[in-house]
Structure 1
Amino acid sequence: MEHLKTFWKRRGLLWELVKKGIKLKYRRSYLGIIWSFLEPLMTTIVLTIVFGTLFGNKKENFPLYILCGRLLYSFYSASTKSAAKSIRNNASMIKKVYVPKYLYPLSSILYNYTITGISLLVLIPLCMYCKVSPDVRMLRALIPFIQLFVLTYGSGMILSTVTVFFRDMEYLWEVLLMIIMYTSAIFYYPERLIKSGYDWILKYNPLYCIIMNFRYAMMGESMYMSYLITATVYGVGLSIIGTYFFYKMQDKFILAI
């Protein structure tokens, strides 16, 4: 309860850090927040043309399939990389003023989450283009979207702690993110991989489970309960481990940054 009271008292500071992150992201950009719509759309067009041609994916909703995966993976990638650097990037502030240190990785994740939430609006015209009829069942996409935040928070807290003491983790995480991307079925249908007997690569990847359930919800299909359970277990587990690990090591940050 004491930690919750402290967090509530610092909510104004957290909000300021989130606003600062959004402003810095679009600093000196003429289009600003509009890039949150243009960038995923342009990437989707390129990926649809390339992978639609290479793999013969002619399904009408293939662009929507790609964009859902692209948006969610981009959030996870950008947020975890930002969280990993958050303590070191704010070293001067940490050395001068007392601020609960967890606010830095948390604000890094929250401002990316806000931007991604705004970017989701681009799914509306794409649904119309792909002739996917609006349905109340689409609101279920909020469940995997919330699971994505929990998973990212847990990953971000662990990375922000490890990176303080082991700076090479930043570069190692770049490689791991590439592996995660290719095992999350961002721009391909997973049927061939599942039939090959390597379906465990996907089924035990919580990000894949979240992305697929988000896609199912957006396309008006039923979500997989097993995917919901897997994503929840991983997300909650990583969040508990990450928070505990961060709390135990935060007093040593000042000696390493």
Structure 2
Amino acid sequence: MSAYIQNFKKFRPLLWELIARDIKIKYRRSVLGVLWTLLNPLFMMIVLSVVFSNLFKFDVEYFPVYLLSGQLIFNFYSESTTNSMSAILSNGALIRKIYVPKYLFVISRVCSSTINLLSSFTALICVMLATKVDLHYTVFLAPIPLFFIIVFSLGVGLMISAITVKFRDIMHLYSVFVTALMYLTPVIYPLSILPKWLYPIVMLNPLTNILQMLRGVMLYNAIPSLSSILIAMVECGVMLALGLYVFYKNQDEFILNV
């Protein structure tokens, strides 16, 4: 374990360079640049709030905050895992030339998405202030669900980045999976409208527990329950362990397939 830690420290400057490169590429030739990380969730929240709060008449108090908190979790998962999927393939030229710990490419994608996550969280606070939602002391517990979604997404990212090297079709199928997952995550709708047969399926979705935890601390002045924290720890631990295992088992063959 100490060898892995020392190796990570040795290549840490490269990780910062990869993160900076990912951010620069994303906002290259953009007039507002990184400011879009704050504006984009706000614009999406305005559009979706108008549509769903009026057209579908969802009876949810402070619906803009409810919606944006859901977007914050799901959009981070979607962005970080989708970007991680191509992390190895897009750095194939570098992998073939020199030795680099290959997991750094995945971590850099998740870290660059984390910057967007923090910007979206800032947007959430601004919306809460604008809509006069009470900021309770439980807001300081928000790092707990944010940490869980980062770890869970890293595990998924490691796994699918390794699988994609061999099976490129995953890049096309994953977008379909993310779309289906969005409808099985209570981002837009309240859990109370779900039929009885669908409710347990949505609750089995790991993102649901993390999302509900964030909404609890931000909106409802609720401290995360011990059961929800333990469930999130198990789900994130299993996903990260699975991702590391799949990545480790396949990384030696990356150079042959990138």
Residue 136 (structure 2) pairs with residue 147 (structure 1): no
Structure 2: runs of 5+ lacking an equivalent: none
- Contact 1:44-1:63 at 8 Å conserved across structures: yes
Looking at structure 2, the residues matched to 78 and 123 of structure 1 have their Cα atoms a distance apart, in angstroms, of 18
C-alpha distance after superposition, 1:94-127 (max 9, x if no partner): 1111111110011011111122112211112211
CA distance in 2, matches of 1:25, 1:11: 22
Q: Which residue of 2 aligns with 1:213?
A: 213
Report the Cα distance in structure 2 between the residues aligned to 1:171 and 1:68, rounded to whole angstroms: 28
| Aligned position for 2:110 | 109
Q: After superposition, what is the alpha-carbon deviation per residue over 1:211-253, rounded to whole angstroms, capped at 9, x for unaligned?
A: 1110111112343443322222111111111112111211101
**2:86 partner SS:** helix
Aligned-pair distance for 1:129? 2.7
Kept after mapping to 1: 8 A contact 2:155/2:236: yes
2:239 paired residue number: 238
In the alignment, which residue of structure 2 is the partner of 1:133? 134
- Consecutive unaligned residues of structure 1, counting only runs of 5 or more, are none
- For 2:154 and 2:38, locate their aligned partners in 1 and report how far apart those are by CA, in whole Å: 24
CA deviation after TM superposition for structure 1 residue 58, in Å: 4.5
**Number of residue pairs aligned between Structure 1 and Structure 2:** 256
Write the deviation string for residues 45-91 of structure 1: whole angstroms up to 9, x where unpaired. 11111111232124441000000111221111111011110100001
Q: Distance in 2 between matches of 1:225 and 1:25?
A: 39
User: Which amino acid in 2 is paired with 1:30?
Assistant: V
- Which residues of 2 match residues 1-257 of structure 1 at below 5 A? 1-193=2-194, 196-219=196-219, 220-257=221-258
Amino acid in the other structure paired with 2:231: T
Classify the secondary structure of the residue corresponding to 1:184: coil
TM-score (norm 2): 0.95
RMSD between superposed Cα atoms in Å: 1.3
Given that 2:60 and 2:190 are in contact with CA atoms closer than 8 Å, whether structure 1 keeps it comes out as no
SS in 1 for 2:197: helix
The one-character-per-residue Cα deviations of 1:116-141 (angstroms, maximum 9, x if unpaired) are 11221111221123322122211111
Cα contact 2:81–2:156 (8 A) shared by 1: yes
Query: Structure 1's 115 and 109: CA in aligned 2 closer, same or farther, altered over 3 A?
Result: same
Alignment partner of 1:223: what SS?
A: coil
Q: State the alpha-carbon separation in 1 of the partners of residues 226 and 62 from structure 2.
A: 23
Q: 2 CA distance for matches of 1:225 and 1:184?
A: 22
Deviates more, 1:134-143 or 1:147-156: 134-143
Is the Cα–Cα contact under 8 Å of residues 203 and 227 in structure 1 kept in the other structure? Answer: no
- The amino acid of 1:197's aligned partner reads W
Contact 1:60 1:130 in 2 (8 A): no
Aligned-pair identity (%): 37
Shift in Å, 1:208: 1.2
- Per-residue deviation, residues 138-189 of structure 1 (Å, max 9, x unmatched): 1111100000011000000000000000000011111110111111111110
Counterpart residue type for residue 251 of structure 2: Q
Equivalent-residue separation in structure 1 for 2:197 and 2:143 (angstroms): 31
* Distance in 2 separating the partners of 1:136 and 1:192: 30
TM-score normalised by L of structure 1: 0.95
